[in-house]
Structure 1
């Protein structure tokens, strides 16, 4: 996918997240203030539909988030090569410094 499409997908996941939060709220479902035994057949059916719809929206959100995350992980950062080279250089310098410390300690008789 193109960069602009990935950005739009991420924006959609944020909007979907708000929808999921609303749909998952049991106070938004039909008959929210009633005991289950007091629900009419219509309220029970509508309540069941709300739960299924919330679950479907959650599934859609999870899939969109997974796809966006996968695309972001596959796309290298613009300076990824430079960052890796810099880290390699720092690691090599740290290894040389550690080796020098070990050698000094061995010369001074601190390490056997």
Structure 2
């Protein structure tokens, strides 16, 4: 990977992190700090969309981090005999992190109802 790509991906990571922090904040969701039983039908729908959008942004951020991590390792499988095992291990770690992030989003969504 060219150094320029890594720099651009790192800058993208910073922007995505800002977006995730903004979108995942319940105070920024439709309906503000209203209780869920006080929300209109439109506010409930918009709020649901806000949560899904935050979850999608978080997933994208995780994937960009994963891409940077894979490219940072560098080399090829021929250069490093254990690299396939390392890639598998990294894939498992990414999957575990994605499941944990999804669980957090799920808890946030349930807590707002």
Deviation >2 Å, runs of 4+: none
Normalising to structure 1: TM-score of the pair?
0.64
CA distance in structure 1 between the aligned counterparts of 2:64 and 2:15, rounded to whole angstroms: 11
Paired residue total: 75
Q: Shift in Å at residue 62 of structure 1?
A: 0.3
**Larger C-alpha radius of gyration, 1 or 2?**
1
Normalising to structure 2: TM-score of the pair?
0.64
CA distance in structure 1 between the aligned counterparts of 2:33 and 2:8, rounded to whole angstroms: 38
Tell me if 1:17 matches 2:49: no
CA distance in structure 1 between the aligned counterparts of 2:19 and 2:33, rounded to whole angstroms: 21
Note the aligned Cα RMSD (angstroms): 1.0
Structure 1, unpaired ranges of 5+: 76-112
CA distance in structure 2 between the aligned counterparts of 1:33 and 1:19, rounded to whole angstroms: 20
CA distance in structure 1 between the aligned counterparts of 2:33 and 2:18, rounded to whole angstroms: 23
C-alpha distance after superposition, 1:44-66 (max 9, x if no partner): 00000000000000000000011
Partner of residue 46, structure 2 = 46
Partner of residue 30, structure 1 = 30
Partner of residue 66, structure 1 = 66
Structure 2, unpaired ranges of 5+: 76-113
